[in-house]
C-alpha cells in the first residue's frame, strides 16, 4: 500500500498522520544473513489504529531502529534479529489474539509492546501462560510491576505512581490545593487518579470531583462544564493520545485556561505536536526528552533518528521501543541463551549502557519487581512553543526517589519450579 493511500484512509483521530507514515514501511526488519540462518524473533504488539496509534507507531520506530543497529553489529548471539509487528488496536482482546498469532505461527522468542495499560495487563498474563519474556514498553498502570507482577514481565516506562509523584509538589505548591479531575475510564486513568488523590489527601488538599470519560471520547463538553462548576485551582487532565488532544483543545475553547491551571501527569511530544498553538499549555511530566544538554550520546541518537524519520525528533515512546529492544539483546548476550528463565535472570538488575540509556544517572531494571528505574522530567509547555521545542524541563527527577519499593507496590515474584 502506498503512503498516499494510507494517508487517504478515513480514520478517526488527530495523531493518525504520523502513524500512517510509519505504517507504509515493512514491519519485519531486513537482515543480511544467509537464508538458512534462524533469526531471533521479537514480536511487538502495539496500536497502529485507534486512540493511541501515534504513540504506538513511535514505539515501533524506536524498536525498528534498534533492530537495525543490532543486525549491523552481528545480531543476537550471532543470529539475525527480526521484528514482527502486530496491531493491538489499543484493545486487550485483539492484542491477545495477535500475541497468540505471534507465538503459534511465528514462534517469537520475545514479546514487547503496548500503550494501553489494559493491554499490558492482558499481554503480561498471556506471556506468563506461555513462559515467554514480555517487556511492557509503554503501559503505565502500577499493577503491572506491582500486585500483578510476573516473573517473566519487565517494564521500561514508568508507573503511574512515578508520574504523579514526579510533579505533584510542583503543582500543589504553584497552583493550589483544590483539584478537579477528568479521568479516562479504564485501568490507566483509575490508577493515575488514585495516586494523585493519595498524595493530595496527604498534603491536605481537596479533590473536588472526578469526571470519568470513556476511552475514545471526542466531545468533552459535559466534563468541562462539571470542572468549571467546581471552580478548582487546578484541572487535572489524565487522558493520553488523541483523547488528551481533544480535551485540551476543548478546555481552551471553553476558556478554562483563563480560570484555572491546567495540568496532569503524563504528557507526550506526540500530543503537543498535534495540538493547535493556543492549546499547547500546562504543567506535566515527561518520561524522556530529546533535549538534555550534556547527556552522552544523546545528540548522535537524535541526529540518527531525524535522518531516518523525516526530520522528526525522537519521543519518549521512541526511546521506550529503542531501549527495550537493546535491553533484550544485552540480556540474551549475557545469558548466552534465549531460554526465558536465563534471559530473565540476566535482565534482573541489568544496567543500560550510556548509549542506550540516553539520560543521566543509572538506568536499570530493578530485580525485585522488574521495573525500569530511570528518570522523570517534570516541567511545562512554554508560551508560543513551536516544534520540536514544545516542553521545558523544570528538573530531572531520578525515578528511584519517587518509585515505591517492590514491597510497597505489592510485588511478590513467583518463579516456576
- 143, 272: one domain: no
- 311, 197: one domain: no
What pLDDT sits at residue 21? 40
- 241, 114: one domain: no
Whether residue 412 is contained in a domain is answered as: no
What pLDDT sits at residue 19? 42
Whether residue 414 is contained in a domain is answered as: no
Mean pLDDT across 47-62 = 97
- 269, 392: one domain: yes
Could you tell me which of 213, 214, 231 has the C-alpha nearest to residue 223?
Answer: 213
The answer, yes or no, to whether residue 294 has pLDDT greater than 60, is yes
- 141, 191: one domain: no
Mean pLDDT across 196-207 = 98
- 166, 114: one domain: no
State the pLDDT confidence band at 199, using cuts at 50, 70 and 90. Answer: very high
Q: In this structure, how many other beta carbons lie within 10 angstroms of the beta carbon of residue 218?
A: 13
Q: DSSP alpha helices (H): ranges in 114-233? A: 117-129, 160-175, 187-202, 221-230
- pLDDT tens digit sequence for 167-193: 999 999 999 999 999 999 999 999 999
Q: Residue 264 sits in a domain of what CATH number?
A: 3.40.50.2300
What pLDDT sits at residue 33? 62
- 130, 96: one domain: yes
| Sign of the C-alpha dihedral computed for residues 6, 186, 320 and 273 taken in this order | positive
- Expressed in percent and rounded to 5, the helix, strand and coil fractions of the chain are 45, 20, 40
**Range of the structural domain that residue 154 is part of:** 3-158+295-375
- 252, 335: one domain: no
The answer, yes or no, to whether residue 28 has pLDDT greater than 90, is no
Cβ proximity of 238 and 189 under 8 Å: yes
- 173, 313: one domain: no
- 318, 259: one domain: no
Mean pLDDT across 195-201 = 98
What pLDDT sits at residue 37? 81
User: In terms of pLDDT, which residue wins out, 368 or 15?
Assistant: 368
Expressed in angstroms, the distance from the first to the final Cα of the chain is: 48
Whether residue 413 is contained in a domain is answered as: no
Whether residue 28 is contained in a domain is answered as: yes
- 341, 383: one domain: no
Helix/strand/coil for 279 = helix
Whether residue 357 is contained in a domain is answered as: yes
State the pLDDT confidence band at 417, using cuts at 50, 70 and 90. Answer: confident
11-25, 190-204, 237-251, 319-333: the lowest-pLDDT one = 11-25
Whether residue 322 is contained in a domain is answered as: yes
The answer, yes or no, to whether residue 30 has pLDDT greater than 90, is no
- 244, 314: one domain: no
Mean pLDDT across 376-404 = 97
State the pLDDT confidence band at 9, using cuts at 50, 70 and 90. Answer: very low
Is residue 30 classed exposed, middle or buried when 0-12, 13-18 and 19+ CB atoms within 10 A define those classes? exposed
In the chain, how many domains are there?
2
User: In terms of pLDDT, which residue wins out, 6 or 369?
Assistant: 369
Whether residue 360 is contained in a domain is answered as: yes
| pTM (whole model) above 0.75 | yes
Please state, in angstroms and rounded to a whole number, the distance separating the CA atoms of residues 304 and 75: 19
Q: In this structure, how many other beta carbons lie within 10 angstroms of the beta carbon of residue 106?
A: 15
- pLDDT tens digit sequence for 72-116: 999 999 999 999 999 999 999 999 999 999 999 999 999 999 999
Mean pLDDT across 388-402 = 98
Percent share of the chain, pLDDT over 90 = 91
Whether residue 408 is contained in a domain is answered as: no
State the residue for C-alpha cell 522530567.
377
The answer, yes or no, to whether residue 330 has pLDDT greater than 80, is yes
What pLDDT sits at residue 25? 36
Amino acid at each position: 500500500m502506498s503512503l498516499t493511500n494510507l494517508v487517504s484512509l478515513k480514520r478517526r483521530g488527530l495523531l493518525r498522520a504520523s502513524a500512517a507514515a510509519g505504517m507504509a514501511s515493512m514491519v519485519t526488519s531486513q537482515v543480511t544473513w544467509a537464508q538458512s540462518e534462524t533469526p531471533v524473533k521479537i514480536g511487538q504488539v502495539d496500536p497502529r489504529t485507534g486512540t493511541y496509534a501515534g504513540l504506538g507507531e513511535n514505539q515501533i520506530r524506536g524498536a525498528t531502529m534498534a533492530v537495525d543497529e543490532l543486525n549491523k553489529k552481528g545480531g543476537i548471539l550471532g543470529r539475525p534479529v527480526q521484528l514482527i509487528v502486530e496491531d493491538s488496536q489499543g484493545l486487550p482482546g485483539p492484542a491477545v489474539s495477535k500475541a497468540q498469532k505471534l507465538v503459534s505461527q511465528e514462534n517469537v522468542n520475545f514479546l514487547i509492546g503496548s500503550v494501553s495499560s489494559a493491554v499490558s495487563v492482558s499481554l503480561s498474563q498471556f506471556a506468563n501462560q506461555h513462559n515467554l519474556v514480555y517487556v511492557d514498553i509503554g503501559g503505565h498502570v502500577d499493577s503491572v510491576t506491582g500486585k500483578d507482577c510476573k516473573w517473566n514481565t519487565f517494564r521500561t516506562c514508568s508507573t503511574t505512581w512515578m508520574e504523579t509523584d514526579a510533579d505533584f509538589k510542583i503543582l500543589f505548591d504553584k497552583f493550589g490545593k483544590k483539584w478537579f479531575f477528568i479521568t479516562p475510564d479504564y485501568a490507566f486513568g483509575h490508577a493515575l487518579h488514585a495516586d494523585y488523590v493519595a498524595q493530595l489527601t496527604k498534603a491536605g488538599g481537596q479533590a473536588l470531583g472526578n469526571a470519568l470519560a470513556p476511552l475514545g471520547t471526542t466531545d468533552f463538553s459535559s466534563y468541562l462544564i462539571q470542572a468549571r462548576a467546581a471552580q478548582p485551582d487546578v484541572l487535572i487532565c489524565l487522558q493520553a493520545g488523541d483523547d488528551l488532544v481533544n480535551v485540551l483543545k476543548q478546555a481552551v475553547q471553553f476558556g478554562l485556561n483563563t480560570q484555572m491551571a491546567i495540568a496532569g501527569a503524563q504528557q507526550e511530544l506526540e500530543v503537543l505536536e498535534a495540538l493547535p498553538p493556543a492549546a499547547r499549555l500546562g504543567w506535566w511530566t515527561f518520561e524522556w526528552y530529546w533535549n538534555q544538554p550534556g547527556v552522552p550520546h544523546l545528540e548522535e541518537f537524535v541526529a540518527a533518528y531525524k535522518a531516518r524519520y523525516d526530520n522528526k525528533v525522537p519521543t519518549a515512546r521512541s526511546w521506550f521501543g529503542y531501549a527495550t529492544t537493546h535491553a533484550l539483546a544485552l540480556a540474551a548476550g549475557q545469558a548466552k541463551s534465549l531460554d526465558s528463565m536465563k534471559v530473565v535472570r540476566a535482565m534482573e538488575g541489568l544496567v543500560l549502557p550510556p548509549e542506550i540509556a540516553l539520560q543521566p544517572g543509572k538506568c536499570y531494571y530493578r530485580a525485585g519487581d522488574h521495573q525500569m528505574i530511570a528518570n522523570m522530567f517534570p516541567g511545562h509547555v512554554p508560551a508560543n512553543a513551536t516544534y520540536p521545542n514544545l516542553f521545558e524541563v523544570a528538573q530531572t527527577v531520578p525515578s528511584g526517589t519517587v518509585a515505591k519499593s517492590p514491597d510497597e507496590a505489592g510485588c511478590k515474584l513467583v518463579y516456576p519450579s
